[in-house]
Amino acid sequence: MELLDPAPDFSAPLAALTACHRRLSARLETLLRLGAHLLGVGADDNAQKAAASVLAYFRQSVPQHHLDEESSLFPRLLQEARSDTHREQAFELVSRLMVEHLAFDRAWETIEPQLESVTKGEVPSFDPIDWRRFVDAYRRHIELEERRLFPLAQHLLGAHAIHEIGAEMEQRRAPPST
């Protein structure tokens, strides 16, 4: 049994993005449980740790994940979609996903300070229904990427494009050189 998530394998970037979705889904579930916990118990030590975990993931991993898609995957997918049908599918998916990324960023601007308050032992003024909407929208987003975007990318992208995407993802995570 693995106790820690294995390091991403950037030689298989679509699988690495899918693995990121699993970790994101776990943080989304934590966010939902945290909302119920705050209402019932308050901002105790468990709540503070959960809020810190969600904050850390959304501050570091989620922006990297979105950048992986927006700067590496989406442009190559649009470039390689040569038939009218594939161009239409790719454009519709990329457009929708980009709009959703922006909507998540806007929603996060409200949720982030609420979670920051929890890390300080405070119960913020928040609407758990807003947190539920955020989680549900992200779950739909993940499903769309995994059921439509990644299979289309797998179909359209050649080995060279896949390699480039993986190399760029790995480079984004490399420690800065001194």
pLDDT tens for 23-38 read: 999 999 999 999 999 9
CA 75, 80, 84, 88 dihedral sign is negative
Max Cα distance, the chain (Å): 56
Report the distance separating Cα 22 and Cα 16, nearest Å: 10
What are the boundaries of each domain within the chain?
Answer: 13-173
With beta carbons less than 8 A apart as the criterion, state whether 41 and 116 touch. Answer: no
Cα dihedral 63, 169, 17, 81, rounded to 10, equals 100
CA 144 to centroid of chain Cα atoms:
13
Q: What pLDDT does residue 141 have?
A: 98
With beta carbons less than 8 A apart as the criterion, state whether 115 and 30 touch. Answer: no
Nearest residue to 73 via CA among 175, 136, 157, 3: 157
With beta carbons less than 8 A apart as the criterion, state whether 54 and 74 touch. Answer: no
pLDDT tens for 64-110 read: 999 999 999 999 999 999 999 999 999 999 999 999 999 999 999 99
With beta carbons less than 8 A apart as the criterion, state whether 126 and 114 touch. Answer: yes
pLDDT tens for 35-54 read: 999 999 999 999 999 999 99
Q: What pLDDT does residue 176 have?
A: 81
Give the Å distances, CA to CA, from 27 to 13, 23, 86, 128.
21, 6, 33, 15
Q: Which fold has domain 13-173?
A: Four Helix Bundle (Hemerythrin (Met), subunit A) (1.20.120)
35 is written with which tokens?
């909302």
Share of the chain above pLDDT 90, in %: 92
